[in-house]
Amino acid sequence: MPTETASNNAVRLTIPAKPEYITLLRLALTGLAALRPLPEETLGDLKLAVTEAASNSVRHAYDNGDGVVDVTYELDGDRLIVEVADNGHGFVPGGRDDRDDLDEGGLGIAIIQALADEFEVGSRPDGVGSRLRFVKLLRE
């Protein structure tokens, strides 16, 4: 069952690592647009980026799909910070698995990098799983 917590300017959702729950992440972005109005193009770009990030976790983090994906949205002045994390196998940018994903047509990381103003990918701070973080500057 998805959970949601909010603190200050952040909203955190934890969803099962299943494709059908990614829609909830997109809906949360739409809700945030009520707090900080965004141009339709920017909102569309953010929805695409979060879909790609969460899809990577859903597809690659867990062998049996029994894990969870944590997504945090943080409105910080003129920027939206999005972090997608899982406790799965982990991800080594530029490593063999990354090239294999591109060979399979998975261009999600490249799409996120193109849409974001800042981008980071690697392990969670505890060394377990993966963490993908991107920032979108919210210009008027």
Domain with residue 33: its CATH number is: 3.30.565.10
Domain count, the chain: 1
Indicate the pLDDT class of residue 96, thresholds 50, 70 and 90: very low
* Helices H / strands E in the chain, number of each: 4, 6
pTM surpassing 0.75? yes
Q: How far is CA 131 from CA 25, 92, 138, 139, in A?
A: 16, 11, 22, 26
pLDDT at 55: 92
Q: Which domain covers residue 36, as residue numbers? A: 3-137
Over residues 37-50, the mean pLDDT reads: 93
Terminal alpha carbon distance of the chain:
36
pLDDT tens digits, 3-20 = 554 446 889 999 999 999
